[in-house]
Amino acid sequence: MKCVDLLVTGIGRLVTPPGNVPRCGQEMKEIREITDAAVAISQGRIALVGPKQEVHDLLASIEITETIDVCGRMVTPGLVDPHTHLVHGGSREHELALKRSGVPYLDILAQGGGILSSMTSTRAATEQELYDKARRSLNEMLMNGVTTVEAKSGYGLTLEDELKQLRVAKRLNDTHPLDVVSTFMGAHAVPPEYKGHTEAFVDLIINEILPKVAEEGLAEFCDVFCEHGVFSVEQSRRILLAGKRHGLVPKIHADEIEPLGGAGLAGELGAISAEHLLAATDEGLAALAKHGVVPVLLPGTSFNLGLAKHARARDMIDKYELPVALSTDYNPGSCPTESIQLIMMLASLNLKMTPEEILTACTINAAAALGRGHDIGTIEVGKRADLTIFDSPNLAYLPYHFGVNHTFGVIKNGSVIAW
């Protein structure tokens, strides 16, 4: 190392899971903690990490371009949000009263609202309008301590409108400091012009939309809303296998409302992750464990839909030794929030996860759900220098003191982005 571009010093507590691979079961509790620490960054990557004195001694004869003192604050890996519906037009507060009066989520969708209402707004929006709106959300996420976010399409539901959403996500990745990882989710709902003809819409996705998405290199992953009345297990299998043939790695919205078998399908197809899982059976969870699928839990969604039921995080961790990840599921219907810190609190309250497990779920395991465990998600030499600085005395303080933003600063790829 010839030169250090940025030295972050005066870290009261540096807390990080270890390593490059997802942390399963009890490993999720193992957090490395260094008090009075420092991190040296060179060319956007972590060059040194350790007790402050040791790092300063090792740098004695090395040129340091910039030093920042975080004055005793807590530093974690940059948080990763691995499941969002970031790019969409409009919002759905007009459905709030209906939702609160107890009309179920799938009934609102069946009546032509829900995802289909956002589809109408998304189709009507220009690329620039979608970009401006999603950019504001990305800023919000960044201010919450997030440095990498996944973004799904699925509100266009025509070739042109799906491409429009994905092009916006790509442009955001190119122009915003946050990394935006794209997922094609044309199978999010059946649009009105295909009502009663789901198979024909599945054919359109497989034969026309997917090949174009792949040809333009607009997505890394392919996702399906596998749910009763939306896409069946068989239809999901067809779409995800077609995605695989085009080089897109499968993800599944699985067993959210009914135990349809989405988790089993995730295992069968070797999906990288299975999301929601509130209704997943023991058989489904065993399939995830057997095939190394990351369960991505979205406690903000069950909270906002007013469900009494929650994903079985304790069983997933204690019994099935799964590498649980957490995410906002930010979207205009079931979870209109960008706040990963609210999700941390709900994971503590409703999923009974410990602060250590929550950090692991929002960092290395979330990175693994995006195939990026080797590059982000822990504070290790060689990894991308993505760090979040919290005005928080310790880890437990994050889910404990809720409803406020604890982020003090964010470093992305070695640059101070938000302070």
- The binding site comprises 83, 85, 92, 155, 188, 253, 256, 329, 331, 333-334
Please tell me whether residue 333 binds ligand NIG under the rule CB under 6 A: yes
Stretch that binds Fe ion, among 66-74, 119-127, 306-314, 327-335 (CB under 5 A): 327-335
Stretch that binds Fe ion, among 140-148, 328-336, 367-375, 390-398 (CB under 5 A): 328-336
- Match 């790019």 to its residue by tokens: 87
Distance between the two ends of the chain, CA-based, in angstroms? 27
Q: Which of residues 212-231 bind ligand NIG (CB under 6 A)?
A: 225
Where is the binding site for N-formimidoyl-L-glutamate, in residues? Answer: 155, 331, 333
287: exposed, middle or buried (Cβ count in 10 Å: 0-12, 13-18, 19+): buried
Residues with Cβ within 8 Å of residue 308, at least 6 apart in sequence: none
Size of the site for ligand NIG (CB under 6 A): 13
| CA distances, 269 to each of 250, 294, 328 (Å) | 8, 13, 25
The DSSP 8-state label assigned to residue 198 in this structure reads H
The total of other beta-carbon atoms located within 10 Å of residue 132's CB is 12
Please tell me whether residue 329 binds Fe ion under the rule CB under 5 A: yes
Residue 94's H or E segment, with its range, is: none
CA 399 to chain CA mean position, Å: 18
Q: Among ligand NIG, Fe ion, none, what does residue 334 contact (CB within 5–8 Å per kind)? A: ligand NIG
Residue 204, phi then psi, degrees to nearest 5: -60, -45
* CB closer to ligand NIG, 122 vs 392: 122
Query: Contact letters (x/-) for ligand NIG, 120-159, by CB under 6 A?
Result: ----------------------------------------
CB of 256 to ligand NIG, least distance (A): 6
Query: Contact letters (x/-) for ligand NIG, 272-311, by CB under 6 A?
Result: -----------------------------x----------
Please tell me whether residue 253 binds ligand NIG under the rule CB under 6 A: yes
Stretch that binds ligand NIG, among 233-241, 309-317, 327-335, 372-380 (CB under 6 A): 327-335
Contacts 24+ apart (CB under 8 A), 101-107: 105/257, 105/305, 105/333, 105/334, 106/227, 106/228, 106/229, 106/230, 106/257
Stretch that binds ligand NIG, among 169-177, 289-297, 332-340, 378-386 (CB under 6 A): 332-340
